[in-house]
Amino acid sequence: MTSRSAFWRGFADCAPFILIVIPYSMMFGVVARDAGLDVFRTMAMSVLVIAGASQFTALTLLKEDAPVFVALLTALVVNLRMAIYSAALVPHLGHARLGVRALMAYLMVDQAFAVAVKRYESPPPLSPAERVAYYFGCMMLICPFWYGGTLAGAILGQAIPASLSIDFAVPVCFIALVAPGLRSLPHVVAALTSVAAMLVFSGLPWSLGLLVATLCAMGAGVQTELYMRRRADRRTTA
Amino acid sequence: MIDDRAFWLLTAGLGIGTYLIRFSFLGLLGGRTLPQWLLMHLKYVGAAVFPAMITPLVLWPEATGGQIDPARLIAAAAAFVVGMRFSVLGAIFTGMGSLYLLQALGL
């Protein structure tokens, strides 16, 4: 596989997410205009941040007249998960030049990250150059649609009927992302812990519940994996 | 009404902060290898983050004013089953489609 074909492979593998990025970004455009931002400010936020969940969080808190530092901290906490993405990509993409990695960092989004890492971890292995090309194939697809969708939503705005329940596209997208990955017991335990911990900690201030639930769930996944490994070891030695 | 100065402070801060988070390991720690315990935990990132993000969105949707909506619960469950058994795209269509169907049925 050449770098060029790896790029298009990534592009194709991420293509299904266009269907979800379009409504998601349009919804942000609609919600931002509704909150009183003009088209320019709405676009500025989508271009400078490109992180939907945190943009929605920031917007909601701004509307509620929360202090800027509280809104900022909350939205950054929502994005802290990307530090984990950043670390997870190091073994696969850490070899690239600094300038390339700087661009990769700007383009790092949930859906494309999940697709890219899933590909890197399945056979057949890609060469280092192919991994870089595949990453850009994934990310380049999402980014223009994110901008375009925000712009369309901001301009069309009020024309979208509330009866379309476009807000539901957000959790459906996350469900579609996570469900296929729950193939082993430790992954299922991690997911169930994540839900349970979120229910317990959702009342924590500043969206800290998400971070706490994530850390609990990762720990639960690892502990389940270690437990299964120990049990398998005992069985083979006995 | 959103205060303009507050908006730009927040957007600039969020833009820079989010970029630094994304750049952190990939940019500054470059070709270094990560410790084994960390790699083990990273395997579960997806399974750990997304369910926690999904839970409040499905249980207490803003569109219903934070009230539990049976149609959304059923549609989310349907999307999950299809996502596990079949495909990503199938899950998306099932989720949105079953919500529209249930709403049309008056649930």
Nearest CA among A94, A78, A194, A217 for reference residue B41: A217
Residue B97 burial by Cβ neighbours in a 10 Å radius (0-12, 13-18, 19+):
middle
- Amino acid A54: pLDDT: 81
Residues of B in contact with A37 (CB under 8 A): 2, 7
CB pairs under 8 A between A and B: 277
Contacts of A79 in chain B (CB under 8 A): 14, 17-18, 21
Q: Across the interface, which of B22, B47, B72 has its CB nearest the CB of A86?
A: B22
Q: What is the pLDDT of residues A77-104, one digit of tens each?
A: 668 778 878 888 888 888 889 999 999 9
* pLDDT one-digit tens code per residue, B61-91: 878 888 999 999 999 999 999 999 887 778 8
Q: Which among A104, A165, A218 is the nearest to B48, CB-wise?
A: A218
Q: Give the residue carrying structure tokens 């056979």.
A: A123
Residues of chain B with Cβ-Cβ distance to A168 below 8 Å are 61, 63, 72, 75, 95-96, 99
> How much of chain A, in percent, has pLDDT values that exceed 70?
95
One pLDDT digit (tens) per residue for chain B, 107 residues:
678 898 999 999 999 999 998 998 888 865 556 678 877 887 787 788 889 888 988 999 878 888 999 999 999 999 999 999 887 778 888 999 999 999 999 87
pTM exceeding the 0.80 threshold for the entire prediction: no
Residues in chain B, overall count: 107
* Residue A218, both tokens: 């990762």
**Inter-chain CB proximity B7 and A62 less than 8 Å:** yes
